[in-house]
Every structure is written in structure tokens, then in C-alpha cells.
Amino acid sequence: MASESGTADVGFRSERGPILAALMLCNFLVALDTTIIATSVLTIVGELGGFGQFPWLFSVYLLAQAVTVPLYGKLADLFGRKRLVLFGIAVFLAGSILCGLAWSMPSLIVFRAIQGIGAGAVQPMVQTIAGDIYTVRERAKAQGYLASVWAVASLAGPSLGGLFSEFLSWRWIFFVNVPLCIVAAVVLARRFDETARPRVAHRIDYAGAALLTVGAGAVVLGLLEGGRSWAWASGTSVAVFGLGVVTLLAFVAVETRAPSPVLPLWVLTRRVLLATSAVAAVIGSVVLVITTYVPTLVQGVLGLGALAGGFTLAPLMLAWPAMSSQSGRVYLRIGFRRTSVIGASVVALGSLLTLRWSESSSVWEVAAGCLVLGTGMGLVASPALIAAQSSVSYAERGVVTSTNTFARNIGSAVGIAVCGAIVNATVGDDPRPDVLADGLHLVFWTVVGGAVLLLVAAAAMPGGRVASPESRD
């Protein structure tokens, strides 16, 4: 369905407009349920109880999403994207309904895991389908549309959660997904014609899938809960990480002999895929750290309200999709690597600006730093993903896109774990503005370190304007 013309044909009025709108809606569902629950926690706990268990509402969703992504990528290459994205929407819809009907905190946690399993299929399939239906020339603009959804969800999610909890019921933060899921599924079912299909059916690598799920799940769980549910040096932490490492080693051994591995090991040997996965991991880390701790800085150090905290993040969330949509003009002229290096350099500049934030900073100064960071992210995130997608054929694009998404999820878990440990060690139970400012200053030093790693990963990408095996691109 890619346009054969030399000009980009991306937008809602084009032939693929309804599909793009449905993909954006899918992205919105996944992104919204990552943020909308934050402002409803106290209301949920007040009705269901289980205050000590509420962090699992976030962790179990991210965990289920992260560990299922690689499996869905392989299944999409075997059975097609359409089946997988509709399956993901159906599971996400079922999980949302069950969450809205939850009768206790443990049941809500289990149903959030079901939501995460659905989201694990939806998120990478959105990116894969966009890579299938748009050419290299068009993908940057399409990525801009898709990235803009995360911006809207990041800004609107907490506000909607608060409104539903205060004026309706917290259950509506889940029930609101029902009509959105139905609309997205109907549009994709009717309008998305998967012209390229798998040539042959392969035997599913059940052993590899199980080992990858358990191994990756243990590692992600250890990163998300270490220092919070248990101490980093505790026996529980050692056991969880030990299980993850041993299981992943067994996974590698199995994959070397599997006729159709769920995660082919060639993904770890190609330079472009290694470099772009590293870029995705660092981006996941930096973005989650910034979006988590900038509002903390604004409210806890500068003494401003939640609205001001959201305002300071708005430039990042708006600049990212704006620059992402324009990055195609840049990488078609100078190549993926140079464009990514420029973007990573801008991120590095923005990270240095974070070191200037203190108790005397104004909200405008913080917002300006976020603007620079968002500008850089838009110039590095989309070119890196598109470089990975365009380096492989249809039969490999699903697993490559899912690997990129998985790397980003792992990076997010590592970044928030490291920074959480820093804040706990420096601030502890004394969140006075001066103490919190010192702790956050160390957090922003990790952002600087991440920016350096991002620059190295971008520079490691192979050169070339379009590294695509597909003549139509």
C-alpha cells in the first residue's frame, strides 16, 4: 500500500488516512493507560484497599508489555500484522473491561497484566504496519503523527484520570477504552489490506518463547521493583536477577538450534540493528527519567503546582513529534547516521541545560531545556527506527521493530531503576527543597551520561541515505 509517487502521501485525506488514524488511536490507547491511572491511585486505594500493592498497577502493566513484545514481532512475521494487531486490541479491550469491574486490588493487578499483554502486541504492530504501508520518504511524517499521540496522552492522561475519579468513577479510566478499541479494530479490519503476506507457515518456537518471556520478565521485574519492593542486595533481588540471567543463557542456546527462532540471533549481529537498538534503549531511559523527575523538580523544589509541572513538559512533548515529522527531509539529504548524530548532539546540549536547574530556576528555564531535549529526540528517534526497518525486508520487519521496542522498554526500566536508587539514597524520607534539589541534580547527571551514550550509539550507525533492500522504497 506504499505510495509509488516520489512525493510523500501522508495524511488523513490520503488513501491510507483511515489506517493512519486507527494506528494513532491504537498508540493513544497504549500511551493513555500508562499515564491516566497516576492521578486515580488514591481513589482506587480508597475503594479497593491495598495501598502497599498499588505500585504493581504500574509495574505489572509495563512488565507484561515488555516481555511479550519480541514474541509478537516474530508471530507477526509468520502470520501477518493484521491478525496480531487485532488480537492485541481484543486482549487490551478485555483487560480494560475486567479492570473496570475489578473487586479488589489483587484482581485489578491481574487485569492490568492482561491489558499489558494486549499492549505488547499493539505498540510494535503500530510501528511495523506504518513501516509496511509507508515508504522511507514518507515514514518520517507518519512517525511524527504517531509520536504526537504520545505527547497528547502524556499531557491529557493525568488530567483525564483526575476528572473521571472526581466526577464519575475511577472505573471509567478503563471503560473509556471500550469505544476506542472498537473503532480502531473496525477501521483496521475493514481498511487495512495486508498485501504482503508470509510465504510459508513455520513451526512456532514455543521453547524459545517461554524462555525469553521468563528470562526477560525476571530481569525487567528486578529492575522495576529493586530498591522499592526489596533491597538491591537482598536475596530476593539476587534470585530474581539470577533466574533472568540463567534463563536468558538457556534461551540463547535454544535459539541457536531452533529452525524458526522467536528472536533470531542475527538481530544481535547486524551493526545497524545493534546501533539503533542502543539508541532506542537510551531514548527510553532519558525520556522516562525526564518525564518522571521534571514535575518533581517543579513541584518539590520550585514550589509550583501540578499544572506548572505539566506545562514544563509540554515543550518536550510538542517538539518531539514536530521534529520527527520533518526529519525525513534531513535524512533523505544527509543520511540516517548524520541526522541521528545531529539529533543526539542536540539532546546532549539539552542534558547540559538540566544541570543548571536549581531552586532559583524559573519555570521558563526548565521548559526551555525540555524544548531542546524534545527537538533532539525528534531528530534521532525516528531516523534510527526507520533505518532499522528499512534495512530488512517485510519478512523480518516485525521482529526488527519489536526488538527496537523491547530495547526501549528495557532502557526505560534501567533508567528509572538507577534514578530511583539515586533519589532514595540522597533524599530518603527528607524531601526538603534543598535536599531534593541535590538529589535531582545527580539524577540529571545520569541524563548527561545517557546523552553521551546516545551520541556514541548514533555515531555507530552505518552511513548511507537509505539502507533498504526494497526497491520500492
pLDDT at 324: 79
Mean pLDDT of the chain: 79
**What pairs with residue 226 in β-bridges?**
230
pLDDT tens readout for residues 177-198: 888 889 888 888 887 776 655 5
Considering only residues 458 and 265, tell me which one the structure prediction assigns the higher pLDDT.
458
Set of cell numbers at residue 340? 541521528
Average pLDDT for 323-333? 78
H or E element in which residue 372 lies: helix 363-390
Distance of alpha carbon 41 from alpha carbon 143, whole angstroms: 32
Share of the chain above pLDDT 70, in %: 84
Asked if the model's pLDDT at residue 407 lies above 80, the reply is yes
Asked if the model's pLDDT at residue 201 lies above 60, the reply is no
Asked if the model's pLDDT at residue 302 lies above 60, the reply is yes
pTM: 0.76
Place of cell 476506542: 180
Asked if the model's pLDDT at residue 152 lies above 90, the reply is no
pLDDT at 54: 67
pLDDT at 141: 74
pLDDT tens readout for residues 419-445: 777 877 787 666 777 788 888 888 899
Asked if 369 and 348 touch (Cβ cutoff 8 Å), the reply is: no
Average pLDDT for 272-298? 85
Burial label for 360, CB within 10 Å (0-12, 13-18, 19+), is: exposed
Average pLDDT for 403-430? 78
Q: Report DSSP letters for 323-351, one per residue.
A: HHHHHHHHHHHH-HHHHHHHHHHHHHHHH
pLDDT band at 470 (very low <50, low <70, confident <90, very high): very low
Set of cell numbers at residue 210? 517461554
